[in-house]
Amino acid sequence: MGDVAVGARSGHDGEENRGHPVETAVPAADGAPASGHDSGTEDGRVTDEHSGPQDEGVGGTPAAAPPEQKKQRSFWKELPILIGIALVLALLIKTFLVQAFSIPSASMQNTLTINDRVLVDKLTPWFGSEPERGEVVVFHDPDDWLAGEPTPDPNALQTVLSWIGLMPSADEKDLIKRVIGVGGDTVECSKTGPLKVNGKALNEPYVYPGNTPCSVDDQGGQFKVKVPEGSLWVMGDHRQNSRDSRYNQSDKHGGMVPVKEVVGRAIVIAWPMNRWDTLPVPDTFDQDGLQARSSAAAALSAAPQGLALAGIVPVVWWRRRRTASAETR
């Protein structure tokens, strides 16, 4: 009898075998080709010659493989990313709250020369921070200090930049000087110097070479003044070529600059490239007895970085919550 092939049975044969188990087909001899029916498995699954059985999905389609769980990054791996985001946010905040100014005169030489472009931080005053001794600040003309000075004629680029707020308008009258005294200070000059603040002599390496810290004249170069609260006493670094607080003591503010007129602090020389430099506060203003800058003011100057970090915290919290939620599904 040998091997039995499974084929179609007549209806009569079906009646005879009804209720009886169907005999299992005998495997084909080695090397013999299998029939089309033999290519299926007993439970209806189809096997591929290169792989094992695949689970069926709905309607006989293969079920989708379960999604791989995303491993959460460690905090230390995310830290550089967070720092990078904070720096970018700080840069964006500062970029839209910084204004460029062009230097038209020699009153701040050699710290600033004619045609230098400086960037002025306008953000920190929003948080209540006031100018400190030694800072270079830009301020609106308090009382016709620029009377008789020629009006600048801007080029096309400067006109566009002033229109979008990155440079001052040609109609604005702004000056740039160094803050020497703040509210409550006593500032004085006798003979050729040194310049004194609250009785402490200042070492001023930024004064223009060949100039003396104080000017010997009867027009304001010799003085002793008390700075009122809410005001500043300012002087140019080119002492013998600067019309500053000394020479405006007859105006309505007595030569002082109201803090409310300050646009912001000049923080860097941005142009030309060979002149690029920062504008830090000289060490002489940190000496004991000058009531050096308070920690509160220092904290306010870090406002852009603080805002950037504060903005990141909710984003990081939301991202980590979302990752944890995905892992528990």
Residue 173 catalytic?
Answer: no
Strands 262-271 and 117-121: antiparallel
Q: How far are the Cα atoms of 71, 120, 257, 271 from residue 263, in angstroms, in the given order? A: 50, 8, 12, 20
The whole-angstrom separation of Cα 170 and Cα 159 is 8
Pinpoint the alpha helices (H) of 153-302.
156-163, 295-301
Q: Is 177 part of the annotated catalytic residue set?
A: yes
DSSP 196: E
Phi, psi of 26 (to 5 degrees): -80, 135
Half-sphere exposure of 76 (CA within 13 A, CB side): 0
187 within 8 A of 225, measured Cβ to Cβ = yes
What tokens were used for 272? 């030309």
Q: Which of 177, 231, 245, 301 is catalytic?
A: 177
How many angstroms separate the most distant Cα atoms in the chain?
138
Out of 105, 107, 215, 231, the active site residue is 107
Q: Is 120 helix (H, G, I), strand (E, B) or coil?
A: strand
Q: What are the catalytic residues?
A: 107, 177
